[in-house]
Structure 1
Amino acid sequence: MNHYQDITLLPDAEVNPGFLWEKIYQQFHLALAENKNSAGKSEIGISFPQYKKESFPLGSKLRLFAKTAAELEQLNTQKWLNRLTDYTHSTSIRGVPTTVTQFAIFKRRQFDTNPHRLAKRRSMRKGESIEQALKHYSGFNDRETKLPYINMVSLSSEQSSCKSRHRFKLFIEQEIVFEFSAGEFNCYGLSSREQAKKSTVPWF
């Protein structure tokens, strides 16, 4: 990962950060899916330089990484953000600083956040009634993950009617490491969750 490009989100009084992240990240998901390699993976990695440092958990900056400047040029961020130019600022493609000593792994975490589904499983596992199991998950929404997330729409439902589109929360977890690892990025620009295929991005 030798080159990068920063995208800064510019929310205002009418457009909040959460809404902007949803729209912008959905566009990059589409872009990475369209530009995936022959193995179905992305050559572009994504970083969140302000992760948990700002009032909004993901901050207001998205950083794209690639091995070469040509790969970022081919991605063509202007094409994918052409309807969001009033709410984003893109830098030129730059070289990664040679002084970088830390790396980050950004990966997706998946959680079952439906208390009724969890209660049903608990009921079957422990022989409790559904009512008893539901009590165990009372206040569940307060206890669910505190990881930053982006609301997304599944690509498989992009052409579906609004009623049938599959919406979900893309939870994003960060791990700081001190060694570079060239694994795989998925079409969210996030590292593979498999230990042997974890992929880092420079952290600065």
Structure 2
Amino acid sequence: ARHALPALVAVAVFGAGAAYALATAPRDAAPVAMLEQAASEWQVTDGELGFAVRQMGSTVTGSFADWTAAITFDPDSGTGAVTVTINMDSVTIGTVTDQAKGAEFFDVDAHPTAVFEGTIRPEGAGYVAEGPLRLRDQQMPVTLPFDLTITDGVAVMQGQAVMDRRDWQVGAGYADESTVGFQVDLSVALTATR
């Protein structure tokens, strides 16, 4: 479960940077095709992948509705691995959703998914998921600290990360933070069963 959360957080952070473009009216769109559930030792039963970014001086929030996670995790050693696949077309961020999906930001038509492949290890009182995030054909390392509790085979995870949208060339045309902030704050919460 830890693996899924870090990956989701990473992707969400990038999503936030991309989505915070100049506001435009939403257009009618075709239904989003959903991802198939990944085979996994731990199955995510509930989760939220959210992000926040500054747009024109105000904080804007968004989320991804469709993602899958293939998770292995050993509670005794605190180690594992995760592969998270995110359906980029499932992003929502208010009135700028369509712009976030466009070529300047997520470029969903050309790059319909983002993938995080991480390894999990204990760190301090919590855990860290580390690995590459591939988004828009750009791949950069991501580190996601998170908290995890497991009770009677049910894992509950919460994590937060800070990323820079420019690392993935999201919103490259927005070089001035007064329009779209560089920093994207990701928050993830999920529940998984073994």
Does the TM-score normalized on the shorter chain lie above 0.5? Answer: no
Query: TM-score w.r.t. structure 2 length?
Result: 0.30
Query: TM-score w.r.t. structure 1 length?
Result: 0.29
Larger radius of gyration: 1
Q: Which has the higher contact order (CA 8 A, sep 6+)?
A: 2
- Structure with higher helix content: 1
